[in-house]
Amino acid sequence: MKRILFKSGTLVDPSSGRVWQADLLVEEGRIKAIDSGLVPPRGTEVVNAGGCLIFPGCVDVHVHLREPGFEHKETIATGVRAAVRGGFVAVAAMPNTRPVADSAAVVGYVRARGEEEGLAQVFPVGALSRGSEGKEMAPLGEMRQAGAVAFSDDGRWLADAQLMRRVMEYARMLKAPVISHCEEPALTKGGVMNEGITATVLGLRGMPAAAEEIAVARDIILAEFTGCHLHVAHISTAGAVRLVREARSRGLKVTAEVTPHHFTLTEEAVQGYNTNAKVNPPLRTRADVEALREALADGTIDIIATDHAPHAREEKEVEFDQAPFGISGLETAIALVFTELVHKGVLDLPQAAAKLSLNPRRLLGLPGGVLAEGEPAELTLIDPEREEEVDPATFASKGRNTPFAGWRLKGWPVGVVVRGKWIPVRPLPGEGLREI
C-alpha cells in the first residue's frame, strides 16, 4: 500500500468532538501519524488538503445495489462507484434483490462482488424472513457467518409479531441489529404519498403517519422484551421521533436513521406529479421535517443514510400511481448534509461526522470512525465551500432519479481513502477536474 501524506487539512474527530488543523500520514492502511509539519518519507504521495475537512470514512448503512436480479437499475460495480463519488468508503446492501439475500449463498455473493470491485466496501444485510415474505425465519446464523452485518426485510414490515420476536431473539444472540422498515401495510395499501391536504388536492391515495408510528411502537416493545438492538430505518414522522426519543430515554437499545430527502423535502415536492419525489416512507409535512432536524440535533437520530434506490429512467417516466418508490441518493447525500444541516447551524462538524461515520460503524460493528494514530485509514475529504449544481447526467449510478436535479449545493466530497488508496473524485481547492 502506498504511503500518503495529507498536508494542512482540518481534521474532524467525532469520537472526541475535536476539530483542528494538522497533517495526517497514512501507511499500510492505518493512520501512522497526526501532527503539524510532518515531513514525508521518500516515495510518499503528498495531497494538499488545505481548505478541506478530513472526516473518518463515511459509511451508508442503507443502500439498494440491486444485484443480483435487477441489474438494469444498478449493479454492484456502478453502485460502489457512486458511493465513492458521493464520499462513502463503505455501504450496507439491503437484501431485496432477486433472489432475496436470505441465504449464505446470496450474502456471500454480494460480499464477494464488492471485494472484486475494490472500491467502497460492501457489507450485506441478510433478510429477516425467507423471501422477505414474513412467514418463516431466514437462516440468520448461516448468513451471519457468510458476512451479514445486520438483518432486515427492508421494503416490507415484518407484521407477524411472534416471528419478529423470534428473529429478534436470534439476532440478539448473534450480536447483530434488526433494521426495521416500519409501515403497517393495512393502513398504506394502495397509497403513493403522504396522507393529507396535498394528496387530496392531487387526487392521490395517501399513506398516513400513523402507519409508521404503529409499527415503530410495536417494534420498540418487542426490542425491550427481547433485548435486541432495533434500528428504525428511514424515520419520517414527528410521532415516530417521539417514540424513539422516549425509548432511548429509558435506556433501550434503539437507534434510528434519517435520509437527506426526508430532512430536506416536504410532500409539496410531489406537486406536478413528480415521480422522482415518490418515496417510501413518503415525504411528509413541514412539521415532520422540523421534528427530524430537531432529533438530529439532540441525538435522537443517530445516523444519516441515503436509502439509495436507483431505478431505470423508463420506470419513473410513467403515471405517478404506477411509478416505483425511490431516490438515487448516494451522490448528493453529503452535499445535502452540508447545505441543509451544517451551513444552517443544525449540526456542527463533529455531529455531522458522527452521523455519517462513527455511528454507522457502531451500528454495523465495524472498526474505525476515529481520527487517531493506529486507527484504520479510511477517510472522506470534503470541501465545505465548494458549490456545484446537481446534474443527474454526471452520476456514476445507473439511477438518475433524483428530485434535486438543478439544485445548487454547497459542501461536496473531493475524495476518499479506502483499501489504502487515495481516490480523488473532485478537484481539491485550486486543482483541475478529477474523475474516477
**Interior CA angle at 348 toward 369 and 255, to 5°?**
55
- The closest alpha carbon to 263, from 230, 305, 299, belongs to 305
* Predicted local distance difference test score (pLDDT) of residue 2: 85
Positions in the chain whose pLDDT score sits under 50: 432-436
* Predicted local distance difference test score (pLDDT) of residue 422: 97
Grid cell listed for 26: 497514512
Cβ neighbourhood burial of 43 (10 Å; 0-12, 13-18, 19+): exposed
Give, in order, the Cα–Cα distances in Å from 237 to each of 232, 287, 347.
Answer: 12, 9, 20
* Predicted local distance difference test score (pLDDT) of residue 266: 98
- The closest alpha carbon to 191, from 259, 94, 200, belongs to 200
Contact 87, 396 (CB under 8 A): no
Q: Which residues are catalytic?
A: 307
Cβ contacts of residue 1 below 8 Å, gap of 6+? 27, 28, 29, 420, 421
Residues forming the annotated binding site for substrate?
64-66, 96, 280, 311, 325-326
Residues forming the annotated binding site for Zn(2+)?
62, 64, 154, 181, 234, 307
Q: Tell if the pTM clears 0.95, that is, is over it.
A: yes
pLDDT, tens only, 353-400: 999 999 999 999 999 999 999 999 999 999 999 999 999 999 999 999
* Predicted local distance difference test score (pLDDT) of residue 33: 97
Contact 181, 154 (CB under 8 A): yes
Q: DSSP alpha helices (H): ranges in 147-202?
A: 161-173, 185-188, 197-202
- The closest alpha carbon to 207, from 292, 152, 270, belongs to 270
User: Quick count: other Cβ atoms within 10 Å of Cβ 286?
Assistant: 10
* Predicted local distance difference test score (pLDDT) of residue 346: 98
Cβ neighbourhood burial of 426 (10 Å; 0-12, 13-18, 19+): buried
Total residue count of the chain as it appears in this document: 436
CA distance 116 to 207: 40
What residues are paired with 38 via a beta bridge? none
pLDDT, tens only, 164-176: 999 999 999 999 9
* Predicted local distance difference test score (pLDDT) of residue 430: 63
* Predicted local distance difference test score (pLDDT) of residue 1: 75
Domains of the chain: 3-54+374-424 (2.30.40.10), 57-364 (3.20.20.140)
CA distance 49 to 10: 8
* Predicted local distance difference test score (pLDDT) of residue 432: 46
Cβ neighbourhood burial of 224 (10 Å; 0-12, 13-18, 19+): middle
* Predicted local distance difference test score (pLDDT) of residue 436: 44
* Predicted local distance difference test score (pLDDT) of residue 433: 41
Residues forming the annotated binding site?
62, 64-66, 96, 154, 181, 234, 280, 307, 311, 325-326
Give, in order, the Cα–Cα distances in Å from 255 to each of 162, 192, 301, 413.
Answer: 22, 27, 7, 26
